[in-house]
Amino acid sequence: MSTLVTGIAELVTNDPTRGESPLGLIPDAAVVVADGTVVWVGSATQAPAADIRIDVDGRAVVPGFVDSHAHLVFAGDRAAEFEARMTGARYDGGGIASTVAATRAAPDDLLRRGLADLVAEMRRQGTTTVEVKSGYGLTVEDEARCLRLAGEVTAETTFLGAHVVPPEFAARTDDYVAVVTGPMLDACAPHARWIDVFCEPASASAFDGDASRTVLEAGRRAGLGLRVHANQLSAGPGVRLAVELDAASADHCTHLTGEDIDALAGGSTVATLLPGVEFSTRSPYPEARRLLAAGAAVALATDCNPGSCFTSSMPFCIALAVREMGMTPAEALWAATAGGAAALRRPDIGHLGVGARADLAVLEAPSYRHLAYRPGVPIARALDLPG
Ligand SMILES: [Zn+2]
């Protein structure tokens, strides 16, 4: 069964062969989809017939957002921690350890419901692909359980046993890495596409360059693709390690040296920026303009998680990228769609060329520029297609 989507005031295809912008803009456009795939794209006046017709009545259509970095399997609430951080009050609710404890104690159905609610919330804001990490279980059984649940909502599942060293392994990082790269990896690899590590030598509960390399190489031997939480809190070895090992993505990139930027520009690792984190922790933003000027591929993602950034909104991240990091509205939208797809090494998503997955987002606006122009306004939603 085929569906014609017409009445599109402005279509963003991300096909650079169409027009002058990398966004591949088509005014007064139509799209035909069949069996979940885009089969025709062009001017509405030339559109072929289809079984079903949907008129979006002068709205803009963009590729569904690709949120390539999210932590959605957890229990518990850390709103009080956020409030204390914003007001400068003293507070020790346990931080990430409180999320780990609540997640371990939660029955499957509670985790499943929280996950489904967040994925639905994302879809209502235009996100059609989300990567979901484990990392709040931190035992063999709980990490495998979190990944099994994540696999119920997405194919982009990431084993993040090396998120933090859990309290029971305090000051025994090597022992914990042996578990992560041994029995935990064995239990998790069947449920994961990726492995990730929080590489941050400046943090006692995270992992230094050597430990991160050990984790990533073990993951690669188990058949997993690589991603790295890199250079979030300080300019450490994470970015260069990610590029050296040909990781799909180096995420955060908040503190970069010139060497880091050169490495990203010269490799195939995408720099995934997560400006919601800087917003929610009142921290300096990554230098997106330096990355773009050097020729690095840049993605935007939410990092949706209960501690450092609890937004599920890609449009909000686009608005932050434009307002706070100096990206143009076009660069920010590309990063939130095609950039995210590159960070997941998925040629079938993040664009609306013929052959792409039929992941369309409709805007309550005539142009993609409104995503940054109307911050905080829920103008984007994933388009539900029949069949
Ligand atoms: Zn993260």
Q: Give the distance (Å) from ligand 1 centre to CA of residue 241.
A: 17
109: CB partners within 8 A, 6+ apart: none
User: pLDDT tens for residues 19-30?
Assistant: 788 999 999 999
- The rounded percent of the chain whose pLDDT value lies above 70 is 100
Of the candidate CATH numbers 1.10.3660.10, 3.20.20.140, 3.40.50.300, 3.40.50.261, the domain formed by 65-343 belongs to: 3.20.20.140
Q: Do domains 2-64+350-382 and 65-343 have the same CATH topology?
A: no
132: CB partners within 8 A, 6+ apart: 70, 71, 72, 73, 115, 150, 153, 154, 156, 157, 158
Report how far residue 33's alpha carbon sits from residue 5's, in angstroms, rounded to the nearest whole number.
Answer: 8
Report how far residue 264's alpha carbon sits from residue 54's, in angstroms, rounded to the nearest whole number.
Answer: 42
Q: Give the distance (Å) from ligand 1 centre to CA of residue 9.
A: 36
Q: Give the distance (Å) from ligand 1 centre to CA of residue 64.
A: 21
Q: Give the distance (Å) from ligand 1 centre to CA of residue 307.
A: 10
Q: Give the distance (Å) from ligand 1 centre to CA of residue 30.
A: 37
24: CB partners within 8 A, 6+ apart: 12, 13, 14, 15, 16, 17, 18, 351, 353
User: pLDDT tens for residues 218-247?
Assistant: 999 999 999 999 999 999 999 999 999 999
Q: Give the distance (Å) from ligand 1 centre to CA of residue 229.
A: 6
Q: Give the distance (Å) from ligand 1 centre to CA of residue 132.
A: 10
User: pLDDT tens for residues 4-46?
Assistant: 999 999 999 999 899 788 999 999 999 999 999 999 999 999 9
Q: Give the distance (Å) from ligand 1 centre to CA of residue 70.
A: 6
Q: Give the distance (Å) from ligand 1 centre to CA of residue 53.
A: 40
User: pLDDT tens for residues 89-124?
Assistant: 888 878 999 999 999 999 999 999 999 999 999 999
pLDDT at residue 387 tops 80? no
Which residues, in sequence order, are bridge partners of residue 230? 199, 252
User: pLDDT tens for residues 280-329?
Assistant: 999 999 999 999 999 999 999 999 999 999 999 999 999 999 999 999 99
Q: Give the distance (Å) from ligand 1 centre to CA of residue 277.
A: 9
Q: Give the distance (Å) from ligand 1 centre to CA of residue 2.
A: 38
Mean per-residue pLDDT, 51-67: 98
User: pLDDT tens for residues 176-220?
Assistant: 999 999 999 999 999 999 999 999 998 889 999 999 999 999 999
- How do the domains of the chain map onto residue ranges? 2-64+350-382, 65-343
Pairing of strands 157-162, 298-300: unpaired
Report how far residue 82's alpha carbon sits from residue 59's, in angstroms, rounded to the nearest whole number.
Answer: 36
Q: Please, which pLDDT band fits residue 386 given cuts at 50, 70 and 90?
A: confident
| CATH number listed for the domain at residues 2-64+350-382 | 2.30.40.10
Report how far residue 172's alpha carbon sits from residue 164's, in angstroms, rounded to the nearest whole number.
Answer: 12
